[in-house]
Chains A and B, each alone.
Chain A
Amino acid sequence: MIINHPLLGPRDAAEFYVMGDADLINRPDPDAEGAAEAFYEYAYLRDNPAGEHRELWYHEQGDRSWLVVTRSTLTHEIMNVEMARDVALANGRGQ
């Protein structure tokens, strides 16, 4: 698989480490009500879809950036690559 890195261009997937579902960006609020249940679901349960899947890839042997890759789990086709930082900021993280 070739991942089209937003800053570095096309890179071999072997340079990356895969972390899994991009939903891991959205860590629950530990002070909210029902935080224990929310953390259980966050840490252990996954949608695991057959088809389009947004996932975190870490460019370990490159610029060490985190990416959100949208990829088909049926064909391995990569539809979209974003910087995880941008996705997190757009979700309201870091404010």
Chain B
Amino acid sequence: MRYSALKIFTEGLTGNKGWKPVWREPEPKKEYDVIIVGGGGHGLATAYYLSNKFGVKNVAVLEKGWIGSGNVGRNTTIIRSNYMLPGNEPFYELSMKLWEGLEQDFNYNAMVSQRGILNLYHTDPQRDAYVRRGNAMLMAGADAVLLDQDQLREECPFLDFDNARFPIKGGLAQRRGGTVRHDAVAWGYARGADAKGVDIIQNCEVTGFDIENGVCRGVETSKGSIKAKKIAVCVAGSSSRVMAKAGMRLPIESHVLQAFVSEGLKPVIPGVITFGAGHFYVSQSDKGGLVFGGDIDGYNTYAQRGNLPVVEDVCEGGMAIMPMIGRARLLRSWGGIMDMSMDGSPFIDKTHIEGLHFNGGWCYGGFKATPASGYCYAHLLAKGEPHEVATEMRLDRFKRGAMIDEKGVGSQPNLH
């Protein structure tokens, strides 16, 4: 069923009785060409691009809970491609281009809203760093504009420009950045993949891998053994737990990132704004709530909840740049589990076990990467070699000394 304005109109007139479930609930077959472990944003995007762009049929997505029950529904919905390093920036710019055409591509309203992202700077050296970053973005085909304080005063008069400790001197803006309705991303990809025959199997936990003589031939699941020519793990947040079943140790720690929503307010914040002297980012949802977050809690955890010191730290960051939010009350907070990698960058790679592939280590940048992650993973699975923008995202890069460390803080995951 193709969605259109006419369809909504006619359904409205006929009691909305014509809508059908948008994906099936099949039982697993005995064998597939490709099994994707993990029905989150990245797994479903991989299934979508495999079936729709690379012509791979006979694909299954196995999900422990229900699809979209993990981080794709727990993030702050921001999309951007304002990275710097050559191993990263072209990848995120591909992602941004895919976001821009996504809704037409999969015929689903994901509410892609390019309201812009603004990174504030507070000192001269930080301005220099942003000039450098902006130039790196332009060279990769992204957009970037450096704004001085006067321009910023016009766009965001509510900022605390004359803050004694962190005066706001200007910002680096990416106008094509913005926000997306996160759940709709999972649903849209699932619908598009299902339409091409991908089996999306929910409540099916992978309990082990069928590995013999260094070749992975299938998975053990709570619904029995399933064979496959290629197995693609895509379970960021739980990567270490799942890959341990294949005997692998990863350059990853699991950490919790908290996010917050205030009560609904009139429109006050035009796009996404980030603090340059601490960790705080905020946007306003279409319902009016301020959606914001900051640093990870900093200790290893698999509990989807954090502690109060970070709540305080995040709110202090917010108060430092826009004191007006002190009047808003906090409505909800929640946590999601991140794969924090040793250099802050992700992996899309084969493993040393033939047939077994790995996608993970997204730190807290996974949502914006969803389309490119799916596209590049599908490319790797279909063609056996990495997509040209994902050639650096290898598992062995630490051994080779080829880290992609945007922040330059070394192998300390809680600092990325």
Binding site for B on A (CB under 8 A): 1, 12-14, 17-21, 40-41, 43-50, 53, 55, 71, 73-76
Contacts and interface: CB of A to CB of B under 8 A. Distances in A.
Interface stretch (B222-230, B244-252, B275-283): B244-252
B251 A46 contact: yes
A46 B412 CA distance: 11
Contact of B298 (A18, A21, A40, A49): A18
A20 B413 contact: yes
Contacts of A50: 238, 241, 254, 302
B253 A40 contact: no
Given A50-B241, A55-B300, A74-B302, A18 B251 contact: no
B104 interface: no
Contact of B251 (A1, A12, A14, A45): A45
B402 to A, nearest CB: 12
Contacts of B411: 43-44
19 contacts: A13-B309, A18-B298, A20-B253, A20-B300, A20-B414, A43-B342, A43-B411, A44-B342, A44-B411, A46-B250, A47-B240, A47-B244, A48-B240, A48-B241, A55-B299, A71-B299, A73-B301, A73-B302, A73-B303
Interface residues of B, number: 25
B307 A18 contact: no
A14 B398 contact: no
Interface in B329-366: 342
Contact of A75 (B254, B303, B398, B412): B303
B302 A47 contact: no
Contacts of A44: 251, 342, 398-399, 411
Contacts of A17: 298
Q: Name the prevailing secondary structure of the A interface residues.
A: mixed
Contact of A40 (B299, B301, B307, B398): B398
Contact of B253 (A41, A46, A71): A46
Contacts of A14: 309
- Considering the complex of A and B, which 7 residue pairs feature the smallest CB-CB distances, nearest first? A48-B240, A14-B309, A44-B398, A45-B249, A44-B251, A50-B302, A18-B299
B399 A40 contact: yes
A13 B299 CA distance: 10
Contacts of B240: 46-49
Interface of B: 238, 240-241, 244, 249-254, 298-303, 307, 309, 342, 398-399, 411-414
A46 B252 contact: yes
Contacts of B238: 50
A22 to B, nearest CB: 11
A40 B395 CA distance: 12
A61 B98 CA distance: 46
Contacts of B253: 20-21, 46, 48
Contacts of B244: 47
**Taking each of A17, A18, A50, A75, which has the highest tally of chain B beta carbons within 10 Å of its own beta carbon?**
A50
Contacts of A73: 254, 300-303
A76 B303 contact: yes
Nearest to B410: A43
A47 B309 contact: no
Nearest to B310: A14
A1 B298 CA distance: 12
Contacts of A21: 253, 300
Nearest to A19: B412
A45 B342 CA distance: 9
A72 B160 CA distance: 41
B251 A53 contact: no
Contacts of A20: 253, 300, 412-414
Nearest to B309: A14
B250 A48 contact: yes
A74 B249 contact: no
Given A45-B250, A48-B250, A74 B303 contact: yes
A17 B411 CA distance: 16
Contacts of A76: 301, 303, 307
Contacts of A45: 249-251
Nearest to B299: A18
